[in-house]
Homo-oligomer: A and B are copies of this chain.
Amino acid sequence: MTVRKLNQEERDTWTSALDGWDMADGRDAIEKTFEFGDFVEAWGFMSRVAILAEKADHHPEWFNVYNRVEITLTTHDADPDNGGALSKRDVELANAIDALG
């Protein structure tokens, strides 16, 4: 299934409504860093995100060290030649991650 990249209006309204997600440097992607008390807490969060991602069939690029988790979201299929582009799927996954609480 081809996924359409966000148009300018969607981009302005949807991404700016996200809590703490910023545009990634030099990419059409959003990113957010999460910090926890320790590795076990960070891992618990990642496990919940992993299940959300697999259910949505939309997977993050993410980095973890100890209590820190950096998540980057973009949609490869929306612009495969340029490492992806933002689509509705990214906004939905970002909101689902933030709703984990």
Contact = CB atoms under 8 A, between A and B. Distances in A.
A3 interface: no
B64 A62 contact: yes
Interface residues of A, number: 15
Nearest to A39: B59
A17 interface: no
Nearest to A40: B54
Given A43-B50, A53-B39, A63 B61 contact: yes
A57 to B, nearest CB: 9
Contact of A65 (B40, B43, B61, B66): B61
A44 B19 CA distance: 30
List 10 tightest A-B contacts by C-beta distance, closest first.
Answer: A61-B65, A63-B63, A59-B66, A43-B50, A39-B59, A62-B64, A39-B54, A40-B54, A59-B65, A62-B63
